[in-house]
Each structure stands twice: as structure tokens, then as C-alpha cells.
Amino acid sequence: MSPEFPKKVRSDLNPSRVLTFRIDGRDVSARADESILIVARQNGIAIPTLCHLDGLSERGACRLCIVEIKGSARLQPACVTYPRQDMEVVTTSERVVAYRRKILELLFTERNHVCSVCVSNGHCELQDLAVELGVSHVRYPYLYPGYPVDASHERFCVDHNRCVLCLRCVRVCDEIEGAHTWDVMGRGITSQVIIDLNQPWGTSETCTSCGKCVQVCPTGALTEKGRSVAEISRRRRFLPYLQMMRERRDER
Amino acid sequence: MGDRITIEPVTRIEGHGIITIDLDDEGGVRDARFQVTQFRGFEKLTEGRPFYEMPAITERICGICPVSHALASGRAGDAILGVHPPETAVLLRRLCNCGAFIQSHALSFFYLSAPDLLLGMDADPARRNIVGLVAAHPDLVRDGIRLRQFGQQVIEMVGGRRIHPAWVVPGGVDAALSGEHREAIRRMLPEALAIITRTLALFKQALGDFSAEIETFARFPSLYMGMVDGDGKLDHVQGRLRIIDATGGIVADAIDPVDYRQHIGEAAEPWSYLKFPYYRPLGYPDGLYRVGPAARLNVCNGCGTPLADREWAEFRSLERGPVSSSFHNHYARLIEILYGIETIGELVAQPALTGARIRALAQPNFPEGVGCVEAPRGTLIHHYRVDDNGLMTWANLIVATGHNNLAMNRGVLQVAHRFITAAEVPEGALNRLEAVIRAFDPCLSCSTHAIGRMPLVVRLRRPDGSILREISRS
């Protein structure tokens, strides 16, 4: 799950190489260990993301941040692609936008995303992306899987019907809380996030009930019980703070 | 078996239905049915969902009375939690319900039925719709639109949006009412009151022209059911059920909605998707009872607000005993709008209305809950069962239109007997068949896309099913 670029150590002794490249025709400079996504955001260039969350490791799961790189036939996810000297990156070509929309439509078809009765309605990152990318129709048949809701936990509820497999919950539980209660099973679109050894949440012995997974979920998949439609509120400011505190402890 | 006449679809109602008239060999009316041909399946599709999602899901049953479904669902949720919502939440639910009644009744009266009532049952169907009404009675239509807007604005200010507000929650409501919105509602009241006063006067004047319809629009003795408070006054949200017989005698009173099954049974017929509830002690189909505006005014001892009480007394003097013609639902709707406006006036005067304590929190403590409210069209019952984690395992919904199903069918038959012979099927007769249904204002689904523009086809069928004659309205 760690990025392919080696973790930095003592930057004053082993400084990262600074290089220059171009994003959408603009000259930008970057450290070699900064992803294209980070550099683009530093320069005010917006790239849509779903699985990315500041404070968590990159996963490259959703593919919504794909960009075009001159000389490469394949589109590359900006969050896990690192710049090279003189690279030319295009973030909003017709091809890129069409693929992003397609990816988003496929996400909608895989599970049952019914905004009108969803706890996240109006606060949902998937919904926001659909608006941002102008997804007014879904051109593919819906799969309508019938996942059961797991409401066995005293405070929280998981509805796999609304999961987009961004794996933020898995990462925050592993990297920040340190419990690694969440994981993934299965392959492809039959993948599913699971608790411990695929058991009801309420029976988990590793879950600390900290609720970080609920706070980072981009859709209505992880919720506090009793919250009605459109009532979710996510608090995520703890994430960069906790990450900073962890790093400080590691340095001691 | 003789010929068959089919009216499909029935226009200016909410949803999709068919009227079928079976004729005998001499051309007389043998039988008549009102069939509901759409299937929604909410009871099944909510299985497995958390019970606290139910208000928002069941609201989607209807775009006109979502507030009623949300309130019934919220009350069922209250019962599953085992809590009493705080005083402010109860007041706000009542306020929202008043807005819902006003807008829904205004829709039924002005948009759907006024074309029949003011242009005449026999008017040219090309003109007999809301557009024709605008040409003939622009002021009345403006009044109707304004009144409906008032109701919708109350819902919006209280619940956040006009249609499908996700605001009622188990244990109370989701958002408090601001002082500004309270004032805004108060300021709108005089205009609404003036409109309903005008409309009531106009309607009472016109009543004389409809003696044939009053006589035949489901005019027969039956039971009536509605919710009343401890004093027997109208109570749409927190009341208990009362059932009276055709003479006005109370046969069951102060029924806790939890016990509805002791009094109400449900039958099904293979030719309709709408269930047929009946009064259990009398059996099916003899236990025919009616709900809705006229039924409510029949069962209560008065409305409980001064102006509406005066109108109620006049209404009840129409007949000795309960008012038995369903035509008078139109009349009762206007009285209930007046009652709603007066009740809003009382509610906005209460200091507790803008309180901050609006929700009782709890875990699901009981495996079963029943929520019952009066929806604009009649009594609405939501009955849920949940598992230990609060996930739905079973639901039963009895909507107002269901309660009236037997009565509507008998009403259609009554009108068919009076206005139809096989030799002659005048357009006005077809319209009366639809109008008797409209008097009940059935809510067969969730939208009003039928405002008289859908093609109406009547088929006269031979016994072997082949078509003898086809009449199209388009």
C-alpha cells in the first residue's frame, strides 16, 4: 500500500531532486517525490479525485484523476504517478474527460446509489463528482446487487450498496488508528470491504469504535446509526493533524 | 355475459387506474369496477433497510402527500424507539401537516375537480380542465394556485423543501423553526383565510346544480373512520381512531393505532393491485367503511377552531346523521382547509413552536411500531417490524385510498346504473364515472401528470372480448 517512491529520510542530508515539467502548458517545478496530483493542486490546477484523501496514503483505486502524458498511450492516475524532467501532462483533454465520466458512470452502475433516500444526500463526494463532471445519464445497465446492511455495531452501520471501494476506511483504520479492522475481499467488482475475518461489525474484537472510517467515507456507505436522509456530517480535520503528530513521534 | 365498457386511464386523479363496466345481454349495467393497475411494492422493497430511513423512503410513495407518509413513518419510528417526541417537535409536525392538508386539498379541489364543478360535468372535455378553467374563472384559478402555494410554503419553511422534505425523523424532527419563518407564515395567513372564505361561499352557491351527482356519487349508508382527540375534535396527527355507523352511532372509539388489526382486515382481489380493507367485525365485503375529509367531519364532534366549527355545523345539517354522499368530500375539503389555516394561526402563536429541543434520541427498543395519521385522503397506517439491529423485516402500509377502495367500487357501480345504458354512452356519463372517483381524490401513486390531457379510451366489448365500439376522447 506504500507509494512506489521510496519514503524520504532526513531531507537535509538526502535532498529530493527538484525538476521542472509542464501541466496543461504551464511550467511547474516539483520535488521528484511529489505526485502529479500534488503538484497540480499546488499550482491551482483542479483534478477530480474520489479515493484520494489528504492525510492518507495514495491508493490509485478510483482512476478519476487520470491524466494524459505526452508520449504515453495510456492514461495515468495523477495521484500515484510521479513527474519526470520535461514531462508534458494534460489534465482536461476531451479523451480524459470522457474517460472520467465513463468511470463515474460505471461506479454508479456497480452498486445502488439512490441519492434521494441516502443519508449522504447533499454531502456526498460521488454526487458532487457527478455534478462536476456533468453525468446526467448513465449509459450502462445497472447491476442492482443486493448487499445486506450490517447494523450490528452499536453506533455505526455499513451499507455496501453505497460503497465505491475507495478503501479510505481500510487505509485510515490501518494507517491512522492502527487497528487494521477493515480489509478487502474478493476481486474486481465483487470486491467488498470487510471487518476482520468477514464478520458482523458488532462482533469485531479489533475495532476500537473510534469512528474514523465513518468520518472519511465519501458516500453513504459508512454512517452513524440513527442518522436520517441527508443528515450526515463528516469531520475530517483530525486527519492531517493526527498524521503530523504520528510523524513527530516517529522522528523522536 | 354482455359487453364491457373500459375507461382507461381515469383522468385527473393521482396515478393510474381503469374503470370497467360490464353490461348484461340487454345492455343494462351488470357490474362496475375501479381497478388500480400500477404496482409500487414499497412494503417489499424496504425489507432490510434501517427503520430510520423509512420516512424518506416511504415519502417517495407520493409527491402530493409525502408529509403524511413521513409523519406516519416517523410515528412508527417513535414507537420502535419507545420515545415521546419533545413538545416542539409535536407542534412542528402538526404545523407541517396543516401545510400539507392545505396544499393537497387545494390541488384536489381547484386543479382536479373544479373543472367538473364550475364548467359542468357535461362541458366539452377539450375545455373541461385547468386550462379551460383559467379562461372561464381566472380569479378562482389564481386563488387556487395561491392557496396551494401557501400550503407548500409552510411545508418548505418548516421542513426545508416543498416536496419530499427529509425532515420528520423517528423521535421528532430534524430542524427547528426559525423566528423569521414563523413570522413569514403568520403574515401569509390573512390572504389564505380570505381565499378559502370566498371559495366556500362560491361552492355552497353551486351545490344546487349538482343534486343528481350528490344523489349518486357513492351515496349509500356505510361506516366511517377518522382520527379524533380526547374530546372528539379533529386531530390529524396525534389522535386516536373512531369508527361510526351509518346512523352516526359510535361503534369503536379511542382505538390505539397499535390495535388497528383488531378492527381492520385486508382482503385482496386478483383484478386490482389495491388491497381492500374492511371492518373486521362485519367481514368482507360487508365491512365497507369510508375515510377522508367527509368521513372525518362525520366522525368528529367538531373541528375545534371557531370558523371551521361553524362551517362544520352547516355541513352536518346537510343530512340527518352522517353525510353519506361522497360528492360532499369536495365540501369537506374546503372546510378542512379552513380548519388548517385556523390551526396554523393557533400554532404560530405558541412560544414553544420555535424551541430548540426537537428530537428524542434512543436505540431501537421495541421490535414493532405502528404509526397512524390522517392524510388528506384519509387514515394512513404504517406498521413496521425490525430485527435486533433496527433493520426492517416486515412492513404493512394501509393508505387512505385503500380504505376507500370498496366504497369507490360501489360508487362507480351506482353512477353507472344511473347514467349508462349500452345504447347510449354520453361523454358526460363517462366523465361522471371518473368524477365519482375524483370525489375520493384517490392517490394511486405519486404524481399528477394526468390533468385531462391523456387520451381516454372507452371500449365496448363483446362477450368474447372483441371490441364492439371504441370511443376515444383525444
Residue of B nearest to A146 (CA): B48
Query: Does the pLDDT at position B17 exceed 80?
Result: no
B332 is written with which cell numbers?
A: 369537506
Q: pLDDT class for B467, splitting at 50, 70, 90?
A: low
Asked if B69 reaches chain A (Cβ–Cβ under 8 Å), the answer is no
pLDDT of amino acid B268? 82
Residue of B nearest to A201 (CA): B389
Decide: helix, strand or coil at residue B428: helix
CA distance B155 to B344: 12
Q: Which domains are assigned to chain A? A: 18-92 (3.10.20.740), 118-251 (3.30.70.20)
Is B361 close to A226, i.e. CB distance below 8 A? yes
How far does CA B415 lie from the centroid of its chain?
21
Note the CATH number of domain B84-218+326-355. 1.10.645.10
Q: What is the dihedral of CA B420, B425, B427, B429, to 10 degrees?
A: 0
Asked if B74 reaches chain A (Cβ–Cβ under 8 Å), the answer is no
Is A226 close to B56, i.e. CB distance below 8 A? no
Looking at chain B, the whole-number percentage of residues with pLDDT higher than 70 is: 90
CA distance B43 to B395: 5
Is residue B227 within 8 A of residue B372, CB to CB? The reply is yes
Query: Does the pLDDT at position A2 exceed 50?
Result: no
pLDDT per position as a tens digit, B399-433: 888 888 889 889 888 988 888 776 677 778 888 88
Classify the complex by whether its ipTM is higher than 0.90, answering yes or no.
no
Decide: helix, strand or coil at residue A66: strand
Q: Where are the domains of chain B?
A: 4-38+411-472, 84-218+326-355
Q: pLDDT class for A1, splitting at 50, 70, 90?
A: very low
Query: Does the pLDDT at position B446 exceed 50?
Result: no
Q: pLDDT class for B456, splitting at 50, 70, 90?
A: very low
pLDDT of amino acid A133? 95
pLDDT per position as a tens digit, B181-240: 999 999 999 999 999 999 999 999 999 889 988 998 989 999 999 999 999 999 999 999
Enumerate long-range contacts of A103-106, CB under 8 Å, 24 or more apart.
A103/A62, A103/A63, A103/A64, A103/A66, A104/A64, A104/A129, A104/A130, A104/A133, A104/A135, A105/A135, A105/A137, A105/A138, A105/A139, A105/A140, A106/A140
Query: Does the pLDDT at position A9 exceed 90?
Result: no
Contacts of B85 in chain A (CB under 8 A): none
**Which residues make Cβ contacts (< 8 Å) with residue A9, sequence separation at least 6?**
none
B402 is written with which cell numbers?
A: 385503500
Q: How far is B306 from chain A (nearest CA, A)?
A: 38
pLDDT of amino acid B457? 44
- Single pTM value for the model: 0.88
Is B48 close to A230, i.e. CB distance below 8 A? no
Q: pLDDT class for B6, splitting at 50, 70, 90?
A: confident
Is B174 close to A228, i.e. CB distance below 8 A? yes
Pairing mode, strands A88-90 and A18-23? parallel
User: Within 13 Å of residue A118, how many CA atoms lie on the same side as its CB?
Assistant: 26
Q: Which residue among B56, B170, B361 sits closest to A117, beta carbon to beta carbon?
A: B56
Which chain A residues touch B if contact means CB-CB below 8 Å? 116-117, 119, 121, 148-149, 151-152, 154, 157, 202, 225-231
CA distance B229 to B404: 22
